[in-house]
Amino acid sequence: MKRYVPITILIVFWLVFFWRQIVGGEVWYCCDNLLVNIPSKVFLAEELKAGRFPLWNPYIFSGTPFFADINLAVLHPFNLLYLVFPPFRALTVGILILFLAGSTGMYFLGRTLKLGRFASLVGAVVFGFSGSLVVYANNIPILQVAVLVPWVMAAWIRYLKSMTGQDLVMFVLVAAFQFFSGHPQFTYYTWLLLALYSWRRLWPLAKAGGLVLMVSALQLVPFLTFALSSTRAGADFTFVTTDSVKPLSLIRLILPGIVGNLSGGTAWIQAGTIHGYVGFLPLLLAPLAWTTKIGRFFLTIAVVWLLMAMGKYTPVYWLAYHIVPGIAWFREPVQTLFLWGFGIAGAAMVAVESLLKKPRSIRYLLVIGIIFLMVAGIMRILNANIVETMVSHVTSKAYPSGFMQELVYNLAFIGAIGILGGIGVGMVRERLAKIMVLGVLFADLYVYGQTNVTTLPEATVVSWQKSTQERVASWKLSGQYRYYTDPAIYPYPDKVPFGQFNDPGESAWQFKILRPTTGMLYGVAAVDGYASMVPASYQRRFGEPERYDPTGVVIPSIIHPLLPKLGVRYIITRPHNPLLGDTTRFRLLESDGVIAVYEDSWAIPITSAEETVQ
């Protein structure tokens, strides 16, 4: 029975963490899930119902490869959920299963490393409810790949220990499944981890990698063909270091609440996410793992990828960009905070195992916790007058008082976490102490994780979808033509000042303006779109922009001469747009005072348009 206790605990924590999504009727809805994943999954489901396997997507970029876009994870089994559930519920069910898979995968990795059940459970909690995974729930192809990292690592370690054909087959299948699961950036990072772990045995890894490539070739060959001809090819250093983590914002790895409460409508520092947060206690425990080889491996991962996350702000990423093959293919160094978190989770479970075998003084945990409480108390007593002035200069933005309140609260909460965690770790051999440690770990991640769980009642999200469906029907958009949404109306008109954030309002607006790719939900085709890759040849039709948009196409004007030739009959823009003042050509179909739909009489039907352009 003892072998099932850790998994049972993980399930209980999972039920508590996601109770609003499991029984409360809430669903994930925003960000890339709304703009890319939901429309693509619905399109895939409709094609499968019609008995077709979609290699091509006719709804964006005047037609673009569909199966070849590996980010869409067309072969992932969770796509079948969209044949059973409504879209946003299917998305949510998949996300919930993935979180459970992530935590159990980390537990399995710990056991594979011969760590005890409790130590492995610690790593599972830290990884499975980490800030990065919570953030990745808003882009399911990333989450699908990220939760498989511990599974791939565990399968590889098992094979290295046994060198049996059975374990090799298991590794190849798990690693190939990760390739099929979506975002290639995280699959690439996984193989860097495998290479680091196996640096003295790279030949077996190379042979196993060859088998993985063979099994994955069905997806990899079209993906690589598409990638090499996309706007992502040949990216420069400035491009790939987009979204580098500013050193000052690393404070969120210790005091995550001061970045804001994204689900509550505030965001003060770099998008307000808790990306990279793994809890306060694991940070204090991690250094104790240095005494073991596997502990040094995890700590090395954490330190190296933390430096990489800062991108252009340190020379580390620049060196990797020029030396390590593949780094230049991917942007957003902030994503490597996931590997920082994975490293700390691994180091924490190794440290706990070390303490169980050889207890040591951990008074420093209590001291650090007390210091945090004292600082919070002093700031509270000072009434924050002097400190608020300092904070306002640091942030150079509004709401210093709100920022200050969160800072004091965070210092006090983290201080309490440090003290309680220190007490529990000090007696970690006792059953009650183990319960205390797990409780502290989970409470920490729960409190801050909920600030980034961006879900809403399903009925609210469905109402946006239905409202847009009714409006689209009233426009009578003909299937013979395409539409174009003016990028000038992309920004949410009711955007609030810095320091506040309205994710529901932003998302509802994307529905309202029929943001490219969302039109797929209603069977209407766009001349542009939003995707992980864009054919470079399509962008060249509109000219060479100053900087390529890797997820879209840059069209210089809403009256570009190529648009009617590509079948663009409907233009969604602001009312009374002077560019559409030629009433002999443009006819106003609808206007609600905020957005307007115009009809271009010069547009050529799609079938004829393709022949004209060619």
Q: Per DSSP, what are the bridge partners of residue 573? A: 596
Report the pLDDT value the prediction gives residue 432, as an integer from 0 to 100. Answer: 84
- Taking the C-alpha atoms of residue 359 and residue 305, their distance in angstroms, rounded to an integer, is 30
Give the angle subtended at the CA of 29 by the CAs of 28 and 31, to the nearest 5°.
115
Q: Which of 282, 276, 280, 297 is nearest to 113 (CA)?
A: 297
Report the pLDDT value the prediction gives residue 403, as an integer from 0 to 100. Answer: 61
- 3-class DSSP state of 21: helix
Q: Which of 253, 19, 9, 1 is nearest to 107 (CA)?
A: 9
- Checking if the pLDDT of 375 tops 80, the result is no
- 3-class DSSP state of 266: strand
Report the pLDDT value the prediction gives residue 420, as an integer from 0 to 100. Answer: 74
Mean of pLDDT values over 436-451: 91
Residue 121 in tokens: 């459970």
Report the pLDDT value the prediction gives residue 369, as an integer from 0 to 100. Answer: 67
Please, which pLDDT band fits residue 611 given cuts at 50, 70 and 90? very low
Give the angle subtended at the CA of 73 by the CAs of 69 and 78, to the nearest 5°.
160
Amino acid present at 7: I
Sign of the CA dihedral 153, 158, 161, 166?
negative
Residue 457 in tokens: 């009642």
Half-sphere exposure of 115 (CA within 13 A, CB side): 31
What are φ and ψ of residue 568, in 5° steps? -80, 105
Percent of the chain with pLDDT over 70: 89
Report the pLDDT value the prediction gives residue 366, as an integer from 0 to 100. Answer: 67
Amino acid present at 519: G
CB 133 within 8 A of CB 99: yes
CB 214 within 8 A of CB 220: no
Hey, what long-range contacts does 160-169 have (CB within 8 A, 24 or more apart)?
160/198, 160/201, 160/204, 163/204, 168/208, 168/211
Q: What is the pTM of this model?
A: 0.92
Report the pLDDT value the prediction gives residue 125, as an integer from 0 to 100. Answer: 98
- Taking the C-alpha atoms of residue 14 and residue 291, their distance in angstroms, rounded to an integer, is 32
Condensed to tens digits (0 to 9), the pLDDT of residues 398-443 reads 444 566 677 777 777 777 777 777 777 777 678 888 888 899 999 9
Average pLDDT, the chain: 88
As a whole number of Å, the CA-based R_g of the chain is 26
Q: Which residues fall within 8 angstroms of residue 131, CB to CB, at 6 or more apart? A: 256, 273, 274, 275, 276, 277, 278, 341, 445, 448, 449, 452
- Taking the C-alpha atoms of residue 349 and residue 438, their distance in angstroms, rounded to an integer, is 12
Condensed to tens digits (0 to 9), the pLDDT of residues 389-407 reads 544 444 444 444 566 677 7
Report the pLDDT value the prediction gives residue 474, as an integer from 0 to 100. Answer: 78
Least reliable range by pLDDT among 291-305, 345-359, 486-500: 486-500
- Taking the C-alpha atoms of residue 154 and residue 105, their distance in angstroms, rounded to an integer, is 8
Half-sphere exposure of 162 (CA within 13 A, CB side): 16
- Taking the C-alpha atoms of residue 590 and residue 593, their distance in angstroms, rounded to an integer, is 9
Alpha helices (H) along 427-477: 431-449, 458-475
- Taking the C-alpha atoms of residue 311 and residue 597, their distance in angstroms, rounded to an integer, is 42
- Checking if the pLDDT of 175 tops 60, the result is yes
Report the pLDDT value the prediction gives residue 304, as an integer from 0 to 100. Answer: 96
Residue 226 in tokens: 């598409």
- Taking the C-alpha atoms of residue 218 and residue 213, their distance in angstroms, rounded to an integer, is 9
Least reliable range by pLDDT among 452-461, 496-505, 509-518, 526-535: 496-505
First to last CA, the chain: 68
Report the pLDDT value the prediction gives residue 546, as an integer from 0 to 100. Answer: 67
Between residues 15 and 378, the one the model is more confident about:
15
Report the pLDDT value the prediction gives residue 390, as an integer from 0 to 100. Answer: 45
- Taking the C-alpha atoms of residue 146 and residue 91, their distance in angstroms, rounded to an integer, is 16
Condensed to tens digits (0 to 9), the pLDDT of residues 38-87 reads 999 999 999 999 999 999 999 999 999 999 999 999 999 999 999 999 99
Please, which pLDDT band fits residue 361 given cuts at 50, 70 and 90? low
Alpha helices (H) along 312-384: 315-323, 337-357, 363-381
Report the pLDDT value the prediction gives residue 18, as an integer from 0 to 100. Answer: 98
**Of 100-109, 316-325, 445-454, 457-466, which has the strongest mean pLDDT?**
100-109
